[in-house]
Amino acid sequence: MARTILHLVRHGEQARTADDGEDGGLSELGRRQADRLGQRLVGIPFAVIHHSPLPRSVQTADVIATYLPDVARHACEHAVDRTPIPSVEDRVQYPERFLPWLDGVPAQERDENAVALQAAVEHFATTDTHDRHELVVTHNFVIGWFVRHVLDAPTWRWIGLNQENCGLTIVQFDADRPPTLVSFNDIGHL
């Protein structure tokens, strides 16, 4: 029975920047968080490191990669920062108290009906003929969406599944059974 074990990591703490929407990369604390996580991941036989193209994720992946020097890494469209937003006709699936907040999500982060996030799940949930470990350095709502999917929770339930910076969530996809949540937001290394 082949399985894919997906290690989902939220990037380290972001440096504070002017309120211009720019991603300033990691703060000093964020670098320490990434360093501790890298130490923790030593010995796991990762096939690849996927990361969001935003500086805070790239820098987190760079720090982690110093502990995993033989593991290839790349920017991955499936790890991009996204917020699932219901379409007009699907707003009834979300509790009304969340709708005003969702209406304020910036255009560049909006993922209507989670089309891109579902594509990410389909991309990463594949199994092969042998076990495979993959590391994804991404963002809070992306991880929340994966957890919601694995638990088969209601569409809106990604809200409130908050991941700490450099927290580790592990999900397992098996060829012949439903996916499993192995751990959520593990921060024992921090």
96 exposure class (CB count in 10 Å sphere: 0-12, 13-18, 19+):
exposed
**pLDDT band at residue 129 using 50, 70 and 90 as cut-offs:** confident
148 exposure class (CB count in 10 Å sphere: 0-12, 13-18, 19+):
buried
**pLDDT band at residue 176 using 50, 70 and 90 as cut-offs:** confident
**pLDDT (0 to 100) of residue 140:** 96
Q: Residues 69-82: pLDDT tens digits?
A: 999 999 999 999 99
Say yes or no to pLDDT of 8 above 90. yes
d(CA 117, CA 96): 22
d(CA 143, CA 182): 13
Q: Residues 92-127: pLDDT tens digits?
A: 999 999 999 999 999 999 999 999 999 999 999 998
Q: Residues 18-63: pLDDT tens digits?
A: 555 566 789 999 999 999 999 999 999 999 999 999 999 999 999 9
**pLDDT (0 to 100) of residue 145:** 97
**pLDDT (0 to 100) of residue 19:** 58
pTM (predicted TM-score): 0.94
**pLDDT (0 to 100) of residue 22:** 64
**pLDDT (0 to 100) of residue 21:** 58
Q: Residues 140-172: pLDDT tens digits?
A: 999 999 999 999 999 999 999 999 999 999 999
Residue 75 region, left (φ>0) first, then alpha (ψ -120 to 50), else beta?
Answer: beta
Please report how the helices 115-124 and 140-150 are oriented relative to each other, as an axis angle in degrees rounded to 10.
70
Contact 144, 158 (CB under 8 A): yes
Domains and CATH numbers, the chain: 3-15+23-186 (3.40.50.1240)
